[in-house]
A and B are shown apart, each in its own frame.
Chain A
């Protein structure tokens, strides 16, 4: 069997593989990703749902909260344990998580996501010019 243009193909493959693997090479030897240390609220032990749920699903929950409060006029959230909370980002979430930089931003930066909540909602630290 004969490989036509073998030299070019193999050089090409090697270059492709090299480029493809650069992220691996770049990160080799670095410490594995660890979850950022968040500043937790002092007075409150438990969020509206479990920590695990909040970590993975807070965005879905906020989506539901928005529709529930604005469209259905239902502004009280009864959680899976029967406890009640006001449905409000500024008046519930941010009353406990009083530091956006030390809480929200930490994971969002790591995950490279830029949610636009704060274009309108006022962060607990207040706004500065």
Chain B
């Protein structure tokens, strides 16, 4: 046989193809017969939601209790000033609901509202994230994969509720390292973070940390189930949501 360029290329191509198949095969063979599944203990829902009784948690102090529990559970740093990181915080009526009223009754005028990510049914933050670092789970929770966040802050611009915080600096510098929750990670400089509706606790059968310390003032449950506790509370009380006109369909309701 003549040693032509054509023959050489054919042979080289075959060898390369063979190598590919062989290495792919060995990778496949190494993959085990293992599987993943959800825990039987996990709390499940079609759409998680929260109802906050603002008559019962309506002051800075009471909301601080919720924030402390949440921030301790998730290693959220306390940074003084505008670079603060927050998952749940207190704000007045105007800031919370965008419906300024110059002749409001006194109790409402002074009331503080616990604000957090609304885990919107049509979350604008999810639509803009270029890396799908923030995404909506089938149970309605808008979650984040911090591994993927590139810190572009599109989500912060898109969220109409200010629910997201950016780590302008290394968060560990502002955490009490002796009191970290070692079951949960911290974040690093350059990523966005926000409330996660305590997915890691739901997966273990526990209700969110803020709900747990709220002594019943916060109710958590499945919005799609008419028999659920949240639906019962919603039937019995007058509630509003934040900025409903924007169409993001928040899953956090406020009893006024």
Contact = CB atoms under 8 A, between A and B. Distances in A.
A76 interface: yes
Nearest to A78: B35
Interface residues of A, number: 35
Given A64-B36, A74-B36, A122-B185, 12 more contacts: A73-B199, A73-B203, A74-B37, A74-B38, A75-B39, A76-B37, A78-B34, A78-B36, A80-B33, A90-B185, A122-B75, A126-B182
Interface in B179-198: 180, 182-188
A76 B36 contact: yes
Contacts of B184: 90, 122
Interface string A77-117: 11110000011101100000000000000000000000010
Given A122-B180, A128-B177, A49 B186 contact: no
A126 B180 contact: yes
Contact of B30 (A57, A69, A124): A57
Interface of A is mostly: loop
Contacts of B143: 70
B246 to A, nearest CB: 26
Interface in A15-46: none
B36 A79 contact: no
Contacts of B183: 88, 90-91
Contact of B172 (A49, A116, A127): A127
29 contacts: A56-B30, A57-B30, A66-B145, A69-B203, A70-B143, A71-B135, A73-B42, A73-B137, A73-B203, A74-B36, A74-B38, A75-B36, A75-B203, A76-B39, A77-B36, A78-B34, A78-B36, A78-B37, A79-B34, A80-B33, A86-B39, A88-B183, A90-B184, A119-B188, A121-B185, A122-B185, A122-B186, A127-B177, A129-B177
